[in-house]
């Protein structure tokens, strides 16, 4: 039996595979690997497809030096837009529009190291309004908040906190120097202590190795993450990563398949950069991925909700909330 077949059977039997076993999968024939990953996905998740949309709730002038980001004050990019946290009405209106289109999860994302206490109070007001007026789940990506702030967000009705690890702890200093990997890990732990589910993944194509990607997911797994965003780097002119090679569809399929082996019952979520794939992620959705961010991203265009709804039907998926 092949390595992919052997490890698939062990995962289906409820066993967790480790780092060395996952590394063996990078050499497996792609078709066999992705078919095994899709079988694992079907076994643990059925035809569930978790779709979310995001809103750029606070834009630009970010103090952090994340080397992929158009919103950082450290780089000169074409992203000149900048505004404070959007008002409650605007955040709630966008949530309602997405819910009416069949989206069940909505994430408010803000630039900057962390929201202030005043901004957290404002966000709580918006979350309460969204929860009163719709049935959509509200996720937040507000930076490096503390446990008490997360508790206020949970009490307001937020259900999930997003904070990407981006890569492995070893590679992270090549991505950002204004905050640490340990701070990200503590943010996720604080959110979990506050009773919130956690969502964390990274960006593929920063210059990391497969070992870095696997280590990132293993860290996420140990933290209890069940939603893993898989972003494909869209090299932004003016950022240090502007000349990075864009990964191929086949490379991303292999990555998503290996992630499925590591978190078999999770939501492997195609996120930013999916529009760079000619098939809008269809091959990855046959390779273990079963979730997506739909609509526009933060500073780049995405794929419309309507297009994604048609794609999920074509693939035999049903839009539902995934297990957290």
pTM of the entire structure? 0.95
pLDDT (0 to 100) of residue 297: 52
pLDDT (0 to 100) of residue 324: 67
Q: Is the dihedral of CA 286, 21, 324, 97 positive or negative?
A: negative
Tell me the C-alpha distance between 106 and 169, whole Å. Answer: 28
Degrees to nearest 5, angle at CA 128 with 122 and 133: 130
pLDDT (0 to 100) of residue 47: 96
Q: Is 181 left (phi over 0), alpha (psi -120 to 50) or beta?
A: alpha
* Residue-range domain boundaries for the chain: 29-319
- Joined tokens for residue 190: 């604080």
pLDDT (0 to 100) of residue 1: 78
pLDDT (0 to 100) of residue 77: 83
pLDDT (0 to 100) of residue 296: 62
The CATH classification number of 29-319 equals: 3.20.20.70
Strands (E), the chain: 48-58, 105-110, 137-141, 158-162, 197-199, 202-204, 227-232, 267-270, 291-294, 318-319
- pLDDT per residue as tens, the chain (324 positions): 799 999 999 999 999 999 999 999 999 999 999 999 999 999 999 999 999 999 999 987 889 899 999 888 888 887 778 899 999 999 999 999 999 999 999 999 999 999 999 999 999 999 999 999 999 999 999 999 999 999 999 999 999 999 999 999 999 999 999 999 999 999 999 999 999 999 999 999 999 999 999 999 999 999 999 999 999 999 999 999 999 999 999 999 999 999 999 999 999 999 999 999 999 999 999 999 999 999 765 555 568 899 999 999 999 999 998 876
């Amino acid at each position: 039996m092949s390595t992919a077949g052997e490890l698939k059977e062990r995962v289906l039997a409820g066993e967790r595979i480790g780092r060395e076993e996952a590394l063996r999968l990078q050499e497996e024939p792609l078709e066999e690997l992705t078919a095994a990953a899709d079988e694992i996905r079907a076994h643990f998740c059925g035809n569930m497809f978790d779709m979310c949309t995001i809103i750029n709730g606070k834009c630009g002038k970010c103090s952090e030096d994340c080397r992929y980001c158009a919103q950082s004050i450290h780089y000169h990019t074409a992203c000149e837009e900048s505004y404070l946290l959007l008002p409650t009405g605007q955040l709630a209106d966008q949530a309602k529009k997405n819910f009416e289109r069949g989206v069940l999860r909505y994430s408010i994302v803000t630039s900057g190291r962390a929201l202030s206490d005043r901004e957290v109070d404002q966000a709580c007001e918006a979350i309460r309004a969204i929860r009163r007026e719709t049935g959509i789940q509200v996720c937040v990506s507000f930076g490096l908040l503390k446990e008490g702030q997360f508790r206020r967000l949970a009490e307001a009705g937020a259900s999930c906190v997003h904070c990407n690890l981006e890569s492995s702890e070893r590679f992270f200093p090549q991505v950002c120097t204004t905050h640490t990997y340990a701070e990200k890990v503590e943010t996720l732990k604080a959110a979990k202590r506050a009773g919130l589910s956690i969502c964390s993944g990274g960006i593929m194509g920063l210059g990391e190795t497969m070992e870095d990607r696997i280590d990132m997911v293993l860290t996420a797994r140990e933290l209890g993450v069940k939603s893993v965003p898989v972003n494909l780097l869209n090299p932004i002119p003016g950022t240090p990563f502007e000349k990075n090679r864009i990964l191929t569809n086949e490379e991303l399929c292999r990555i998503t398949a290996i992630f499925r082996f590591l978190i078999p019952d999770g939501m492997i979520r195609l996120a930013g950069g999916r529009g760079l794939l000619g098939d809008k992620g269809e091959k990855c959705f046959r390779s273990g991925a079963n979730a997506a961010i739909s609509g526009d991203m933060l500073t780049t265009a995405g794929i419309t909700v309507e297009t994604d709804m048609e794609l999920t039907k074509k693939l035999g998926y049903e839009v539902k909330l995934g297990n957290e």
